[in-house]
Structure 1
Amino acid sequence: MYVGIDVGTSMVKAAAFDGTGRERAVASRPVGLSLRDGVVEQDMDEVYGAVVAVLDEVTAQVAEPVELAGLTGQGDGVWLVDGQGRPVRQAASWMDGRAHELVDRWLADGTVEAVFRRTGGAMFPGSPGPLLAWLDAHEPEALDAAAVALYCKDMVFRRLTGAAATTDVSDASMPFLDPLTRGYDDKVVELLGLTHRRGLLAPVSDPVATAPALGEGLPAGTRVVNGPYDLPACALGAGATAPGDGLLIVGTCLAALVATTELDLAGEPAGLYIGTDRPGHWLRAMPAMVGTAALDWVLTTTGVRHDEVDGLLAATPPGAHGVRVLPYFAPSGERAPFVEPRLRAELTGVSLESTPADLIRATCEGIGFAARHCLAAAGLTGTLAVCGGGTRSPAWMRLLADVLGRPLRVVEGEVGARGAVIAAAGRCGVPLDTAAWTRPTAVVEPDADRAAYYARAYEEHLERLERARQRARA
């Protein structure tokens, strides 16, 4: 029996798998987000408590002993802890926007581009570089009290095992890691004015760290493996590992990932190259800020339930009777496939004749266009898998296949937790049939006529987006 732990932004999950990759038990707990004036934070004790609770629930449901546990979770943000692994302040989320003025300045003076040319990562307000620089300027006492600036899963690993605080190459990829040496680039630290805080960067464990559990949530002595974070873990869980193959995660964050052996630091500074367990292999990642969160906002605003979405998507035609949505709802703007901290969502073409179905379809189409933009920028040439909460809507998956103009390998279940187990097994030498573990649950083919329509509509979307970006910079 193997357990995967996925510490998400709004939900913490644990899943137990047998040796064939079949899910035997799943447990989840919601965790809160504090949002105010662009500041987005989380309570680390609440997050860790949710981890212990879901592990207690899952392990109680299976009779067999747990041989191995793999850990993954949300990336970016800043999780400051003291020498005992306890929080010194609330965690700053990857969704946080307080450092947007700093990123604006770094965009204007060339710092963002200079960092990208060295590391392949384009900073955004919720990434560790800007957040640490903001805290250094506005809350230096918090940094003074901290022993290390961790990422989410690293905090959990530290408390589950008591092991020394470390991170892995995937989390460290943004923005300080040299993708070739797989160590920190001190020039980047200097460019961000953080040389005097260099000691806060967690040591990079390569390969990923493993340690025995202390006994909370998992039986004492259970092997726990830390990493990679949720985007590369999902790529492993969906089988998107061959160069050119891609994964689209339709979750809170809309993340496009393409496996590659080519490192191109000369293109537009956007997205990032995520280090993997194999040197010379990366994931070209374009993680847009908002995915299902945009649809959730529209559903809440219109009073529509999630279980009504499929019916409403069928109630209005492609194009949503002229309603258009640019789905950039995040308070920190957008980070992929471009960085625009001040970009905001736009809803156009609405009249008294517009219906909730039009608004829902237009939002799903807008998210699809954003996904197409990200996948093109990431260099997709092979197969495309899709996972995340959005896969629970068959109608949305059909719409997405049409908007993208390609078949979708739908991978359902706890894909991040599954990938965490696959990574843990690889780290510990446990043989798994990864083809069986990552087999898709369905393949959704696009409709040729609708795909042709959406190809034209996508070009119009890019034109509207460019005008919106110009207004954001004005």
Structure 2
Amino acid sequence: MYVGIDVGTSLVKAAAFDRDGRQLAVETRPVALEMRGGVVEQDMHAVYGAVLAVLEAVTARVPEPVELAGLTGQGDGVWLVDAAGRPVRPALSWMDGRAGALVDGWLADGTFEALFRRTGAALFPGCPGPLLAWLDRHEPASLDAAAAAVCCKDMVFQRLTGAGRAVTDVSDASMPFLDPRTRSYDEEALALLGLAHRRRLLPEVADPVATGRALGAGLPAGTPLASGPYDLPACALGAGVRAPGDGLLIVGTCLASLVAADRPALAGEPAGLSISTDRAGHWLRAMPAMVGTAALDWVLATTGTRHRDLDDLLTATPPGAHGVRVLPYFAPSGERAPFVAPGLRAELLGVCLESTPADLVRATCEGIGYAARHCLEAAGLTGPLAVCGGGTRSPAWTRLLADVLGRPLRVVEGEVGARGAVLAAAERHGVPLDAAAWTRPARTVEPDPDRAAYHAEGYAEHLELLAAARERARR
């Protein structure tokens, strides 16, 4: 048995696979986010407890010895830990918006662009740079007390293995301090954000991922374990996205668009990031929009409808949702890809007394699709496109996405991030697995030509509405 652990933002998962990549069992546990006035935090004790719970449950269900485990999880945010990997304070989530004013200032004074030209990383309020700078100004005692500022999976890895020091991988280190050309920290990037005096908090970078053996909590003692890449590149690895130009769309809490590249992107409009991967000379041009299924969750809850009704709701109203349009920028920290706008907020347009819940739901799904198309174009998609994530469990929404994007979708099912984490661990620990078999898509969904043509016009309208909304957000 091979176990993949995916420590998500709202759900912690552990999946068991056999040698041929067949998914044998999955266990999940929810984890809470505390949101208040743009502040979004998570209890690290609860997150780690959920990891142990899913591991114990999945290994109990599949009575085979665990040969190997791989770990991935949500990226960005700041998880301050002591020397043993235990929390100094609650984790600051990647969804946190408290550093928005800092990012606005860096956008205005040129720091934002200067950093992007060095590292290929476009700052957003919930990434480590702005959050560390905010803590340095408003909560310096927390930084003084911490041994390291890590990402989610790094905390879990240190606790599972008892590692004597904090360590991260090249993918999580890519935002925002890693030079993608040298795969090491850029000291000038730290200085640009006024954080040179906090250099000691950056964890060691294991290139490409950290390896160790489990102590015995959750996993049998001695189990080989690897940590990384984080969830976005882990999904790309689990979906078989390797050749330059090939892409992946993850329809999850975060709407993430990834395109494989043979060089980092340091030119053009500063947005997204170039993620260093498990292979030198290979990057993922990432455009991780802030809100994906989270936007739909909000609309379903607000309209009093349910997730299980999504397919019926999408077929109850035609393309265009009777004129209702949704700009799906619901995150309290604004948007980060394929542009950065901390002040941008969602807009619902064309709503009247005749509008139905189905109209609002369909318009939201179409708006998310348009946002994905914008991100994929900016990331340079030229090859086949794979899709995964919770949103693809809806056949109707998957067909809608194919129409909105105007291209075939290779649907990869199951726990794709966990699958990628196992493949990364196998490579590092020298365990031979058939990557082609592990990453084979379940099916391909073709776009309808007429609906695709209709949505091409809808996409042009979306860009016009977005331009006006961005202008209002700047005032």
- In the other structure, the counterpart of 2:118 is 118
In the other structure, the counterpart of 2:98 is: 98
Whole-Å separation in 2 of the counterparts to 1:3 and 1:287: 26
Post-superposition CA distance 1:100-148 (Å, at most 9, x none): 0000000000111000000000000000000000000000000000000
User: Structure 1, residues 309-338: CA drift from partner, whole Å, max 9, x if none?
Assistant: 101111111100000000000000000000
Q: TM-score, normalised by structure 1?
A: 1.00
Question: Post-superposition shift, 1:207?
Answer: 3.0
Q: Could you tell me the TM-score, scaled by structure 2's length?
A: 0.99
Q: 1:262: Cα distance to partner?
A: 2.4
Report the residue type matching 1:469 in the other structure: R
Q: Is the aligned partner of 1:9 residue 2:28? A: no
Over the matched positions of the two proteins, sequence identity in percent amounts to 78
2:265/2:273 contact within 8 Å kept: no
| TM-superposed deviation, 1:241 | 1.2
Structure 2 counterparts to residues 26-175 of structure 1, below 5 A: 26-163=26-163, 164-175=165-176
Structure 2 equivalent of residue 323 of structure 1: 324
Classify the secondary structure of the residue corresponding to 1:167. strand
Please state how far the C-alpha of 1:264 moved relative to its aligned partner.
Answer: 2.8
Question: For residues 265 and 92 of structure 2, what CA distance do their matches in structure 1 show?
Answer: 30
Aligned partner of 1:358 in structure 2 is: 359
* Residue aligned with 2:309, SS: helix
Q: Residue 473 of structure 2 corresponds to which residue in structure 1?
A: 472
Counterpart amino acid of 1:378? Answer: A
Whether contact under 8 Å (2:42, 2:91) holds in the other structure is yes
Runs of 4+ in 1 over 3 A off after TM superposition: none
1:162-218 residue CA offsets vs partner (Å, 9 max, x unmatched): 112100000000000000110000000000000110010011011311111011000
| 1:308 alignment counterpart | 309
Query: CA–CA distance in 1 between the matches of 2:37 and 2:205?
Result: 33
Return the letter of the residue paired with 2:129: G
Match of residue 270 from structure 1: 271
Deviation (angstroms), 1:263: 2.3
CA deviation after TM superposition for structure 1 residue 25, in Å: 1.2
Whole-Å separation in 2 of the counterparts to 1:316 and 1:64: 48
Residue in structure 1 matched with residue 427 of structure 2 by the alignment: 426
Report the AA paired with residue 280 of structure 2.
P
Partners of 1:258 and 1:209 in 2: CA distance: 24
The 5-angstrom pairing of residues 214-293 of structure 1 reads 214-293=215-294
How far apart in 1 are the matches of 2:271 and 2:380?
13
1:438 matched residue in structure 2: 439
Distance (whole Å) between structure 1 residues aligned to residue 426 and residue 295 of structure 2: 35
CA offset digits 1:221-268 (Å, max 9, x no partner)? 001101000000000111111111000000000000000102231110
Separation (CA, whole Å) in 2 of partners of 1:371 and 1:206: 30
2:324 is the alignment partner of 1:338: no
What amino acid does structure 1 have at the position aligned with 2:351? V
Q: 1:404, CA displacement in angstroms? A: 0.1
Matches of 1:66 and 1:264, distance apart in 2:
39
| Rounded Cα–Cα distance in structure 1 between residues aligned with 2:213 and 2:72 | 16
- Contact 2:208–2:279, Cα closer than 8 Å, also in 1: no
1:338-357 CA-partner distances (Å, limit 9, x unpaired): 00000000001001111111
What corresponds to 2:384 in structure 1? 383
Amino acid in the other structure paired with 1:85: G
Matched letter for residue 186 of structure 1: E
2:387 is paired with a residue whose SS is strand
C-alpha deviation, 1:386, in angstroms = 0.3
Using the alignment, how far apart are the partners of 1:371 and 1:441 within structure 2?
A: 21
The one-letter code sitting in structure 2 at the alignment partner of 1:24 is: L
Instruction: Quote the offset at 1:64 in angstroms.
Output: 1.2
CA shift for structure 1 position 11: 0.1
Aligned partners of 1:263 and 1:207: how far apart in 2? 16
Q: Which residue of 2 aligns with 1:401?
A: 402
Q: How many pairs were matched up?
A: 474
The Cα shift of 1:429 comes to 1.3
- 1:212 is matched with 213
Helix, strand or coil: the match of 1:334? coil
Tell me, yes or no, if the aligned pair for 2:6 and 2:12 is still in contact at 8 Å: yes
User: RMSD of the alignment, in Å?
Assistant: 0.5
Give, in whole Å, the separation in 2 of the partners of 1:188 and 1:207. 21
1:277: how far off? 1.0
Whole-Å separation in 1 of the counterparts to 2:281 and 2:109: 31
Determine if the alignment matches structure 1 residue 196 to structure 2 residue 197: yes
- Give the counterpart letter for 1:72 in structure 2: T
Of 259-268 and 383-392, more deviation after overlay is shown by: 259-268
Rounded to whole Å, the distance in 2 between the matches of 1:243 and 1:141 is: 45
Provide the C-alpha distance between the structure 2 equivalents of 1:156 and 1:262, rounded to a whole number of angstroms.
Answer: 31
SS in 2 for 1:204: strand
The offset of 1:14, in angstroms, is: 0.1
SS in 1 for 2:263: coil
**Preserved CA contact (<8 Å) 2:208 2:277:** no
Counterpart Cα distance in 2 of 1:88 and 1:467: 42
Instruction: Provide the C-alpha distance between the structure 2 equivalents of 1:276 and 1:426, rounded to a whole number of angstroms.
Output: 13
Q: CA deviation at 1:47?
A: 0.2
Q: Is the 8 A contact 2:2 2:69 kept in 1?
A: yes
User: Which letter does structure 2 place at the counterpart of 1:120?
Assistant: G
Q: Which amino acid aligns with 2:19?
A: G
Q: Which deviates the most, 25-34 or 425-434?
A: 425-434
